[in-house]
Amino acid sequence: MVSTGVINILCGIWGLLVVASIIVFIMIKLKPEKDLKELAQRTQSWWVMIGIFTVAIITHRIFGILFLCFISFLAVKEYFTMIPTRRVDRNVLFWVYLSIPVQYFWAYIEWYGMFIVFIPVYMFLIIPTRMIFAKQTEGFLRSAGTIQWGLMIAIFSISHTAYLLILPVIEETASGGIGLLLYLVFLTQFNDVAQYVWGKSFGKHKIIEAISPKKTWEGFLGGVVSTTALSIIIHSFLTPFSWSHAIIAGMIISIAGFMGDITISALKRDLGIKDTGQSIPGHGGVLDRIDSLTFSAPLFFHFTYYLYY
């Protein structure tokens, strides 16, 4: 049963999307000389992404977990398409892909102990062990680190969204895991937009120009303040948080989201590419879209789990 709070916030999100689409349509009509194709594509992609996400979380939780599992699969696929790997390690990647459904299965059956150690312990040991049988030591350390880092960001980090989804309803809230997941994803994506708007409007002082030239202190701080304020406004609809916990949660999501964003930016700059893929028109790849979640999802999950579960 989907709570009233979740329905209200989803209606608000769809309402914002309608308004944004109208604004983009008017801009295209009023300024035909400007190339706004990418902006139009981004808006159209948001309709698809929000539509799929809405269906996934309001139906049976198994569909939500399968959807999130598929997101991890796409992110892993993009990651290893970008990253150069040794020919002898191709068989090792089979175990990486196999770990995706296994990790999400632990979330589905609510086995927290195995969920939390499977990737950073068991897969951490399995991957180099399997690599040894390739009998090639050249590039071993770099390859092992590359594969294991991909496991952490694209599978382990993102799988925390699935465990959020299955958290039960507790006395303080009627939204349960669905509300917590919606809260995390909405605020993370809102933070990306808020930092962009604040940075575009007032940004003057660069943070890490060598990695992300467009990131500014004004954009970062504006995003943190805006996201934390929205966290306070919507927390009673979706979470069991007190006011103080909502403030901390908003700061965790905004700061961690920023760190996830620039970490993937550093990866792309190292590889000399603009986007991680082309699967989402106007946005780039799946990993481009969930880069902030690679940091915000696990930190938000453990904050919530420690305090309330």
**Domains in the chain, number:** 2
Please report whether residue 287 resides in a domain.
yes
Among 166, 195, 223, identify where a domain stops.
166
Looking at the structure, tell me whether residues 172 and 309 fall in a common domain.
yes
Please report whether residue 39 resides in a domain.
no
Looking at the structure, tell me whether residues 172 and 302 fall in a common domain.
yes
Can you give the pLDDT at residue 12?
93
Looking at the structure, tell me whether residues 220 and 133 fall in a common domain.
no
Please report whether residue 25 resides in a domain.
no
Among 166, 190, 206, identify where a domain stops.
166
Buried b / exposed e over 133-171, threshold 16 CB at 10 Å, is ebeeeeebeebbebbbebbbbbbbbbbbbbbbbbbeeee
Per-residue pLDDT of the chain (309 residues; tens, 9 = 90+): 788 889 999 999 999 999 989 988 888 888 777 767 777 888 888 899 999 999 999 988 899 999 999 999 999 999 998 888 788 888 889 999 999 999 999 999 999 999 999 999 999 999 999 989 878 888 888 899 999 999 999 999 999 999 999 998 886 666 789 999 999 999 999 999 899 889 888 888 898 888 888 889 999 999 999 999 999 999 999 999 999 999 999 999 999 999 999 999 999 988 888 888 888 877 788 999 999 999 999 999 999 999 998
Looking at the structure, tell me whether residues 142 and 178 fall in a common domain.
no
C-alpha span between 109 and 133 (Å, rounded): 33
Looking at the structure, tell me whether residues 153 and 193 fall in a common domain.
no
Q: What is the pTM of this model?
A: 0.93
C-alpha span between 28 and 136 (Å, rounded): 56
Among 113, 144, 166, identify where a domain stops.
166
Can you give the pLDDT at residue 176?
87
| Segments forming the whole domain that contains residue 214 | 168-309
